[in-house]
Structure 1
Amino acid sequence: MEEKSATQQPSTVTSAVSEIEDDNKDENPHGVTPVTSAFADWKRGPLVRKFWRLYLTGVMVCVGGMYIGYGNSVVGSIIANRGFVQQFATVTNPDTGEPDLDAHHLGLWNGLNFVAQIVVQMISPFTADRWGRKFNMWAFTFFLTLSIIFEIVAQEWIMILWSRILGGFAGGLLATSIMTYMSEISLPQFRGALLGSFSLFFALGQVFLAIGLKVLEDTDPFNFRNVFYSEFVFFGLWLVPLVYLPESPAWYAAQDRDEDAKRSLRRLVGPVDGYDLDHEYAVVKFEVAQSARLARARGSDWRALASPVNLKRIVIATLPFTFQNFVGVPLIFGYTTYFLQLANVADPFLGNLMIQLILVVGIVSAFYFIDIVGRRSLVIWSGAAMGAICLVIGGLGFMGPNTTSSGIGLVTLCCVWAFVYANSLAPIGWISLVEVSSPLLRAKTAAVAAIIQSLSGVLFNYTVPLMLSNQGANWGQRIGLFFGGITFAYLVPVLFLFPETKGRTYQELDELFERRIPAWRFHETKTAHQTGVEMRLGGH
């Protein structure tokens, strides 16, 4: 690898960190960042081409999203399958007299999945900080694979429940493994696109599942366990990057394992012309040192996390992620086939496939919008649009008996909703979870933010089937009015708290939060990092 200096600044970790300490003695928030990347002023396109290996490695990590997108969505989507219903039915449908799944069991399957996530989310930041991000990736793989085995051998509904609990353990590890890892290896210019790739791969997993369920329904609907067996295909795909990936350089830096961090960085980046490894690692070390300095000023990590600034960052980190539950994800994606079946849609599995395909198309377009339009605008305007669509869906529930045309209208509305969601909360929910946090506290912040989301997930995922089913409230499509109402209520804190973070380095975000810049002024506030870049460029 060719390593040559591209700046006039310190090119060793030791001198960079020393200068950081000197620069921050006066706690001047308007000072100049002492060390910046030689590529800080590059645009996203040229930077991706320059660091293609780093970008593709980040994309490889997203295969884990496809694995859990397929594996953790199976039970919620297969509940309209005739063979599955025949195997696990415990009640009789009061309208048709046919065997039916108990709505309480459906609620428990998804509700306890989120409870399990919460349990692991309370533990996962400790393991991620103690043993590394890769340790949590392996734990994620273990629990998700074990959940598949439980699905295959299940004969009673209780075994499906245990499978969902194990899947919840896996889901609880996502924030502190895959998402934290991706945020730490990304460059700021393509961080949004790379983190958004996780949503794309997650959605691809759901598309493949929708295709599999449609084929199953048309060929051999009573041999439903074939769908469970197919999950091992995605396990095999995920195993390749899992073995290949090095540990996060940022985690090594936090452990003061500088040589290991450099080896990891070199493996991730590969041979890049003009790349000064010592200097670029000094940038990584600076972010860790800066975060550590702020944490030390407040005591222990957990005391630092409980400071007003970091508590605010936790709330902001969870805002888009938790918003997913309020705009209707538990309905549109959690119980898609069940919802469409209750609405008398002729082919709920085809409707589900159409919705999932639109989701993927939307997420592809989101790669452009996330870093051009920005996070804040997309969350606010898309949230309002999804709330309006939910209200229209709810209004359809008052139009008398469901017909073929009303079924087509419902699927169309769900597709439009999915496209809007794909361009906003689908990627931004995951992005904000790890982007808003301070580098040193990233795993802990992401875990606490994810716990908040999971708490709302428990509530919605348990109650949605009870609200839909004639075994419960029997709202049917009118449930859209409920989600529309709470969506607009949720937009109020989003307007006042959620900032624009596109293109910002973690150094800049630390500074902006420490300066208490209002959310609506983040995008226009000049930072010390920007001043440092301007001075470096002016020196050439």
Structure 2
Amino acid sequence: MEKHEEATGVGQEVSRDEKGDNVHIDVTRDITRAEHDLGFRQALRQYPTATFWAMFFSIAVIMSGYDGQIIFSFYALPAFQKRYGNPIGDGYEIPAPWQTALGMGNPIGQVLGALASGYPMERFGRRWTLAVCCVWSVGFVFVQFFATSLSMLCAGEILGGLAYGFYVVIAPTYASEICPLALRGLLTAFINLAFVIGQFIAQGVAAGLEGREDQWAYKAPFALQWLWPVIILIGLPFAPESPYWLIRQGRKEDARKALEKLSSSKNAPDIDQVLLGVEQTDLLEQEFEATTNYWDLFKGVNRVRTEITIMVYLIQVIAGNPLIGYANYFFEQAGLNAADSFDMGVGNTALGFVGTITSWFLLNYFKLGRRTIYNTGMWVMTLLLFIIGFLSIPTNNKGAIWAMASCMDVWTFIYQMTVGPICFVIISEISSTRLRTKSIALSTAVQSFFNIISTIAMPYMLNTDQANWGGKAGFLFGGISFFCAIWCHFRLPESKGRTFEELDILFQRKVPLRDFKTYDLLAETELGKVETA
């Protein structure tokens, strides 16, 4: 047994064998049981401000979803085409290479921003890092707003995208570290809703301005991006810092104050007990992780945790999500004019909004596990992709094209109800707290890198003057989705109802991933105490 009296001041003990493979819940047994017994409604009453601040930090993700969607809508915007495009026949068109370059601005920025986010988040904390990123965003929206050429606009997209890479790392990290176990699923799944809200607003703005022929048809959507960082900068001075980060900085009293701000004054939990649980989790992870750099993500059991976080995030891109961005394309193929296609695109995004809300009921009302929801979604989505592929076989069949478009709507709903939001729950839970920022950062960078590849490949797959696959792309994504679903069946553990300390112990013991759901650490600990007595 090793004691850590200096770090905690209470003489806590961590039980483990010489190899560190057999750790036990000892001091925090009662704390862990209390976390398990805490219901959703009771947790909301105890942590109302934690709920608010987790959602508040997610506003930053709205910007990422908005920017990634709005730039694509400009390609079909007459005023934008006239200002930046080349004359083609009776109209104007944005050159294909520039369409690709502009589309890659956001994901390229996210790759670089995500990889760069680890150090400042650990050095300066979540609040200060978010504040600097908001100021950065304000500055580079100016570049987009006043861009006089496509090259200037592309530079603004890439440099602005650096901040988006930070946002999608900060939001889930912060949400997972300030809320209790009962709220963790809802508040980390909310990150996906923030993405959808951003996309929904972008689709609505594009549809509303589609008929304008002046410069405000594209300048107004850019100007709207100033709203979000200003709101965040006004609220940040009042936001509490992550207690886990404060404990790692040796600022125990500040961590206590943060927990007090995050909880209710009337229905407050035992702050000393909660603080003890945070300290114990950090101490336990120090037993296994001497440092906290990117290389540690690939050492020991962290290799498995890193594999899981990367894969569940990567699946968003490689298993069919790029097709959502081309929903308008299928609507136009079905015979709709540009304005109606934009309206249908708004409807597609609205389905995503409803799907994400539905995932909250699956998590909290029906109490389904993360693994159950994610795996079920994967198999249904795979089936729908193959249906889209088969529907594309009849050529020039309007009924089949409408059926494909409808299947894409259903696919969007299922995706946003399962894989989309649950991904953020999993990546926020599976990684260790000491490596969480770097784990989410690396996963975000990998996902964004493959998003770049899809941005380049999709036009060549779908355009009539290229491969002209159309709905046949469903076969490609369906095949990839099938193998991803098999991976999920064997490699995705159940993290529902597990504290961060429990997950650390399960991974350290090398418990089979499919047994995470049934492995009872609390009963085992109590049995050991009875036998010792």
Per the normalisation by structure 2, the TM-score is 0.89
Q: 2:322 corresponds to which letter in structure 1?
A: P
Report the counterpart of residue 388 of structure 2 in structure 1. Answer: 393
Tell me the distance in 2 between the aligned counterparts of 1:270 and 1:11. Answer: 30
Tell me the distance in 2 between the aligned counterparts of 1:282 and 1:256. Answer: 14
Tell me the distance in 2 between the aligned counterparts of 1:78 and 1:338. Answer: 14
1:366-399 deviation digits (Å, cap 9, x = unpaired): 0021352221122222112212222222333332
Report the counterpart of residue 345 of structure 1 in structure 2. Answer: 336
Tell me the distance in 1 between the aligned counterparts of 2:218 and 2:297. Answer: 46
Report the counterpart of residue 488 of structure 1 in structure 2. Answer: 482
Report the counterpart of residue 376 of structure 2 in structure 1. Answer: 381
Report the counterpart of residue 413 of structure 1 in structure 2. Answer: 407
Structure 2 stretches lacking a partner, 5+ long: none
Report the counterpart of residue 54 of structure 1 in structure 2. Answer: 50
Report the counterpart of residue 437 of structure 2 in structure 1. Answer: 443
Q: 1:424 corresponds to which letter in structure 2?
A: T
Tell me the distance in 2 between the aligned counterparts of 1:251 and 1:224. Answer: 41
Which of 62, 66, 78 pairs up with 1:66? 62
Displacement of 1:273 after TM fit? 3.7
Displacement of 1:80 after TM fit? 2.1
Instruction: Please tell me whether residue 362 in structure 1 is matched to residue 363 in structure 2.
Output: no
Counterpart contact for 2:106–2:158, Cα < 8 Å: yes
Which of 228, 231, 235 pairs up with 1:241? 235
Counterpart contact for 1:121–1:172, Cα < 8 Å: yes
Tell me the distance in 1 between the aligned counterparts of 2:481 and 2:80. Answer: 33
Number of residue pairs the alignment of both structures matches: 517
Q: 1:325 corresponds to which letter in structure 2?
A: V
Report the counterpart of residue 231 of structure 1 in structure 2. Answer: 225
Report the counterpart of residue 516 of structure 2 in structure 1. Answer: 522
Deviating more after overlay: 411-420 vs 36-45: 36-45
Per the alignment, do residues 264 and 535 of structure 1 end up closer, same or farther by CA in structure 2, a change over 3 Å counting?
Answer: farther
1:451-502 deviation digits (Å, cap 9, x = unpaired): 2212211211221122222343232332222222221122232222111111
Per the alignment, do residues 247 and 59 of structure 1 end up closer, same or farther by CA in structure 2, a change over 3 Å counting?
Answer: same
Tell me the distance in 2 between the aligned counterparts of 1:221 and 1:517. Answer: 62
Tell me the distance in 2 between the aligned counterparts of 1:208 and 1:533. Answer: 52
Instruction: Please tell me whether residue 459 in structure 1 is matched to residue 433 in structure 2.
Output: no
Displacement of 1:359 after TM fit? 0.7
Tell me the distance in 2 between the aligned counterparts of 1:463 and 1:169. Answer: 23
Counterpart contact for 1:344–1:402, Cα < 8 Å: no
Tell me the distance in 1 between the aligned counterparts of 2:306 and 2:41. Answer: 31
Q: 2:79 corresponds to which letter in structure 1?
A: G
Tell me the distance in 1 between the aligned counterparts of 2:86 and 2:300. Answer: 50
Counterpart contact for 1:497–1:518, Cα < 8 Å: no
Displacement of 1:52 after TM fit? 2.0
Which of 177, 188, 191 pairs up with 2:184? 191
Q: 1:524 corresponds to which letter in structure 2?
A: T
Instruction: Please tell me whether residue 474 in structure 1 is matched to residue 468 in structure 2.
Output: yes
Q: SS in structure 2 opposite 1:173?
A: helix
Instruction: Please tell me whether residue 250 in structure 1 is matched to residue 241 in structure 2.
Output: no
Q: SS in structure 2 opposite 1:523?
A: coil
Tell me the distance in 2 between the aligned counterparts of 1:515 and 1:500. Answer: 16
Report the counterpart of residue 302 of structure 2 in structure 1. Answer: 310
Per the alignment, do residues 28 and 392 of structure 1 end up closer, same or farther by CA in structure 2, a change over 3 Å counting?
Answer: closer
Tell me the distance in 2 between the aligned counterparts of 1:145 and 1:440. Answer: 31
Which of 150, 155, 159 pairs up with 1:166? 159
Q: 2:166 corresponds to which letter in structure 1?
A: L
Q: SS in structure 2 opposite 1:73?
A: helix
Displacement of 1:46 after TM fit? 2.1
Instruction: Please tell me whether residue 140 in structure 1 is matched to residue 133 in structure 2.
Output: yes
Tell me the distance in 2 between the aligned counterparts of 1:524 and 1:339. Answer: 45
Report the counterpart of residue 512 of structure 1 in structure 2. Answer: 506
Tell me the distance in 1 between the aligned counterparts of 2:465 and 2:230. Answer: 40
Q: SS in structure 2 opposite 1:99?
A: strand
Counterpart contact for 1:68–1:144, Cα < 8 Å: no
Q: Once superposed, what is the RMSD of the aligned Cα atoms?
A: 2.8
Tell me the distance in 2 between the aligned counterparts of 1:52 and 1:325. Answer: 34
- Written as runs of structure 1 = structure 2, the 5 A alignment for 1:80-229 is 80-90=76-86, 92=88, 98-218=91-211, 223-229=217-223
Counterpart contact for 1:210–1:353, Cα < 8 Å: yes
Tell me the distance in 2 between the aligned counterparts of 1:431 and 1:358. Answer: 20
Per the alignment, do residues 91 and 339 of structure 1 end up closer, same or farther by CA in structure 2, a change over 3 Å counting?
Answer: farther
Which of 489, 500, 511 pairs up with 2:494? 500
Displacement of 1:34 after TM fit? 1.0
Report the counterpart of residue 286 of structure 1 in structure 2. Answer: 280
Q: SS in structure 1 opposite 2:38?
A: coil
Per the alignment, do residues 192 and 208 of structure 1 end up closer, same or farther by CA in structure 2, a change over 3 Å counting?
Answer: same
Per the alignment, do residues 225 and 410 of structure 1 end up closer, same or farther by CA in structure 2, a change over 3 Å counting?
Answer: farther
Counterpart contact for 2:84–2:149, Cα < 8 Å: yes
Q: 1:377 corresponds to which letter in structure 2?
A: T
Per the alignment, do residues 308 and 32 of structure 1 end up closer, same or farther by CA in structure 2, a change over 3 Å counting?
Answer: closer
Per the alignment, do residues 520 and 28 of structure 1 end up closer, same or farther by CA in structure 2, a change over 3 Å counting?
Answer: closer
Report the counterpart of residue 312 of structure 2 in structure 1. Answer: 320
Displacement of 1:144 after TM fit? 3.2
Displacement of 1:253 after TM fit? 0.2
Displacement of 1:362 after TM fit? 0.8
Tell me the distance in 1 between the aligned counterparts of 2:87 and 2:416. Answer: 36
Q: 2:509 corresponds to which letter in structure 1?
A: R
Which of 72, 75, 78 pairs up with 1:76? 72
Tell me the distance in 1 between the aligned counterparts of 2:430 and 2:450. Answer: 20
Q: SS in structure 2 opposite 1:62?
A: helix
Counterpart contact for 1:146–1:166, Cα < 8 Å: no
Structure 1 stretches lacking a partner, 5+ long: 1-9
Q: SS in structure 2 opposite 1:308?
A: coil
Displacement of 1:31 after TM fit? 2.9
Displacement of 1:512 after TM fit? 1.1
Q: SS in structure 2 opposite 1:256?
A: coil
